[in-house]
Chain A
Amino acid sequence: MATSSAIEALKDALKALPGVGPKNAQRMAFHLMERNREGAKAIADALNDALARVTCCQRCNTFCETELCEICVNPKRDQGLLCVVETPADLQALEQVGAYQGLYFVLMGKLSPLEGIGPEKLAFRRLNTLVAESEIREVVIATNITAEGETTADYTQQMLAPYDVKITRLARGVPVGGELEYMDQRTLAAAFKDRRTSVE
């Protein structure tokens, strides 16, 4: 039953959101039209605005509104350190910790053959050029600890191997506050494999 072609189009458009199916899309569309037209306007404006202004940083590939993002132009950042992450969300998570003072590079995804994502769909070429042309002494690979993330890490590592840079990988191990008794086996095994010398 098509009530209005505009509402049908809105429902179809809302299905682009992750985890939103036909039922949810309809609920959202009716809610916006029935009771929250102001909110709908705000969403529409914000979306248009974001689409018009958000681009990718020319250096690190994360989302930003200028040619270079705030992190890349910040002179206090260590220009010799480069952290490779999968997504801008990962970058955000690391930034919130505040433990890292170097620069980033965002691949915009992970290698996943079963989802049809090969190296060509990620920003490997730009990363290669960046490492080749900049004064980077250490690349920290901070992809997820999943099969796809590890493949992405191995690929990155092989690609950067010819350059004279130190390549490191985020440590895998026991989380802070973790009790060994309740730890999942995979994590515990990884923690054992990646154990380090206790004396600094």
Chain B
Amino acid sequence: MRVHQQRAYILVNRPYSESSWIVEVFSREYGRIGLMAKGARRFKSKLKGALMPFQPVLLSWTGKGEVPTLTSAEIDQTDYNLVEHELRGDALVCGFYCNELIVNLLHRHDPHAALFDRYHSTIMALSQAKSEDVLPLVLRRFEQVVMKETGYQVNFDYEVDGKTAIQNEAYYRYQPSQGFIRVATPQRMTFTGRVIRSLNTDSREGLSNLEVSQGKQLMRDILAQTLGRKQILSRELFYPKHR
């Protein structure tokens, strides 16, 4: 099978022999796949620059089997600027976080074009973030799309029965793989409807800092349950801020 100029992102490069890499790729039409990049580690290889994560690339490959051979790779500069869109610092760690979600939640050879487009816009948003405060919002939005696209969608607007709307002022607890159940009084691990519903929108307007961080915690719990034994390590890569 030959594939030409497929839009993709590199997720991670793993050394294979002295001179090659096996690259883990998230492609738009073929989903997550592994490709053999022969000779990519050589000093003179022109592939190296194109096979960096967090930049849109056009890849061609050939061959059957579990790991086809990469035949060409170039940076897709349609709406990507090599200088302006470079991820650094916290945005770079956020990028790794997205990659971890993709690697842990997507099966190989399972195409997710809509998620690919969201991944692309997420990376663009991370690279253009004017301040660190926007990064969490970008990630929450990405988490939602990942959950939806991989079939782990959580209903943030209705209770477990799917009919009763979640009320801003009421308290709820999350029941894994079912949804939200209303509780009479706030306890440990319960959240207000306002926090829960905020996870379904792009806006954090009208939410206190405490509520934003509760939303983050809730999403983290839901993701942890979805991931099971797999761990997300990127969070540890944020160096504790001195404030």
Contact = CB atoms under 8 A, between A and B. Distances in A.
Does chain A bind chain B?
Answer: yes
Interface of A: 18-19, 111-120, 146-147, 150-151, 154-155, 158-159, 161-162, 182, 184-189, 192-193
Nearest to B231: A116
A162 B92 contact: no
Nearest to A145: B52
A161 B13 CA distance: 30
A159 B239 contact: yes
B46 A147 contact: no
> Which 4 pairs from chain A and chain B are nearest by CB?
A186-B49, A184-B49, A189-B82, A158-B239
A147 B17 CA distance: 20
5 contacts: A19-B18, A147-B87, A161-B242, A185-B50, A185-B75
Contact of A185 (B18, B49, B88, B242): B49
Interface string B72-89: 000101000011001111
Given A182-B46, A184-B48, 20 more contacts: A18-B15, A19-B16, A19-B17, A111-B237, A113-B96, A113-B100, A113-B232, A114-B96, A114-B103, A147-B87, A147-B92, A151-B237, A154-B89, A159-B239, A185-B50, A185-B75, A186-B48, A186-B50, A186-B52, A192-B83
Contacts of B55: 186
Chain B residues touching A, range: 35 or more
Given A147-B54, A162-B242, A113 B233 contact: yes
A183 B83 CA distance: 15
A132 B87 CA distance: 29
B234 interface: yes
A186 B75 contact: yes
A8 to B, nearest CB: 25
B236 interface: yes
Contact of A114 (B11, B15, B46): B11
B18 A151 contact: no
Interface string B44-75: 00101110111100000000000000000001
B93 interface: yes
B92 A150 contact: yes
A184 B48 CA distance: 8
